[in-house]
Chain A
Amino acid sequence: MSANHNRPLSDVEIRVKALESLLVEKGLVDPAAVDALIDTYEHKVGPRNGAHVVAKAWMDPAYKARLLADGTAAIAELGYSGIQGEDMVVIESTPETHNVIVCTLCSCYPWPTLGLPPVWFKSAPYRSRVVSDPRGVLKEFGLELPEKMQVRVWDSTAELRYMVLPERPAGTEGMTEEQLAALVTRDSMIGVARVAVPGQEGART
């Protein structure tokens, strides 16, 4: 039995029920639309979309060029588009430059490619510190960059939505696009991790 049932409604739960019930009664919100949107973003849209984009860019230099020139159009080629991704910018990380994304002012995030953001991305500690101490923040994520690399932090203050095209790791020659996509983590497309092959140093399970 769930421990969460048969307990009094919390204050925030009461406020949410009040809001939804009033909006529904006034004919402004259809609960079936609410249900459908929850289902879409809880189960159907997520970082596997972005991983598909990354893997294709690694395999296909022409696609990669289109992706870097017009992220919105190239991402839409794979069927990913829409809300909170209407104007996409893809930034390539290289052996010389590591890129990381933040929204210091709120929590802007590219939903069509990465789904909904994790709590840490939306929270004060990351938003405050990644701009002033990106190397310290990356270390907290287990990523230590050599001094000679440059770090570029991109702050999404406008309606452009950013994602990182991480470097393709060594040891992936001969992999299929699907195998490559399976290696690409959400964190590598935000820029707080790099992509690694399992068993190699730096790989995440």
Chain B
Amino acid sequence: MAINAEQALAATKVGATARVDAAVLPRFTPGTRVRTLNLNPPGHIRLPRYIRDKEGVIERDHGVFVFPDTHAAGLGEKPQHVYVVRFSARELWGPQGGAKDELLVDVWEDYLEPA
């Protein structure tokens, strides 16, 4: 029933990755301009408000991971690519943003559309 101390310590070394070994093709590639969607669901979403409906560039593709929005609602893993999207500080904060500065945020494919 309950995990014992030995099992608990062993589990800490392995962890529980959210990466999914599924052959899912990416919709976007690094260098592509994208726009985040203006999603405002009542349930769980990992797209912060400060990067909604903003334009950025795909910096990196992390691979395929569990989608938290469905997973938190008991609707399954819906595995998909997670990208690093690069935004200029000016895009996010207007003139208050640092002229040279950038924000890099992990964004699931379902939160994106082509710019």
A and B, one complex?
yes
Which A residues form the contact surface with B (CB < 8 A)?
24, 27-30, 32-33, 35-37, 40, 81-87, 89, 104-105, 131-135, 148-160
The contact sample of 23 A-B pairs, CB cut-off 8 A, is A24-B2, A27-B1, A29-B2, A30-B8, A33-B2, A33-B3, A33-B5, A37-B12, A81-B15, A82-B11, A86-B15, A87-B19, A131-B103, A132-B89, A135-B98, A151-B98, A152-B103, A155-B103, A157-B48, A157-B106, A159-B18, A160-B62, A160-B106
User: In the complex, what residues of A have CB within 8 A of residue B47's CB?
Assistant: 157
Interface membership of B21, Cβ < 8 A:
no
- Convert B33-77 into 0s and 1s, putting 1 for each residue whose CB lies closer than 8 angstroms to a CB of A: 000000000000011101000000000001001100000000000
Is the pair B16, A33 in contact by a Cβ cutoff of 8 Å? no
Is the pair B82, A158 in contact by a Cβ cutoff of 8 Å? yes
| Closest-CB distance, A126 to chain B (whole angstroms) | 15
Closest B residue to A104 by CB, please name it.
Answer: B48
Question: A82-B13, A83-B16 are contacts. A27–B104 as well, Cβ < 8 Å?
Answer: no
Is the pair A40, B11 in contact by a Cβ cutoff of 8 Å? no
- Convert B81-115 into 0s and 1s, putting 1 for each residue whose CB lies closer than 8 angstroms to a CB of A: 01010000100110011101111111110000000
Is the pair A30, B46 in contact by a Cβ cutoff of 8 Å? no
User: In the complex, what residues of A have CB within 8 A of residue B14's CB?
Assistant: 81-83
Is the pair B16, A155 in contact by a Cβ cutoff of 8 Å? no
4 new A-B contacts, CB < 8 A, other than A32-B4, A132-B93, A159-B19, are A82-B12, A84-B15, A133-B96, A150-B101
Our pick among B7, B17, B108 for the contact of A87 (Cβ within 8 Å) is B17
A-B interface, 10 closest residue pairs, ranked by CB to CB distance from nearest: A158-B106, A36-B5, A86-B17, A159-B18, A33-B8, A86-B15, A83-B15, A30-B2, A82-B15, A82-B13
Interface membership of B25, Cβ < 8 A:
no
Task: Report the bound CA distance from A89 to B13 in whole Å.
Answer: 18
Task: Report the bound CA distance from A13 to B105 in whole Å.
Answer: 37
User: In the complex, what residues of B have CB within 8 A of residue A155's CB?
Assistant: 48, 103-106
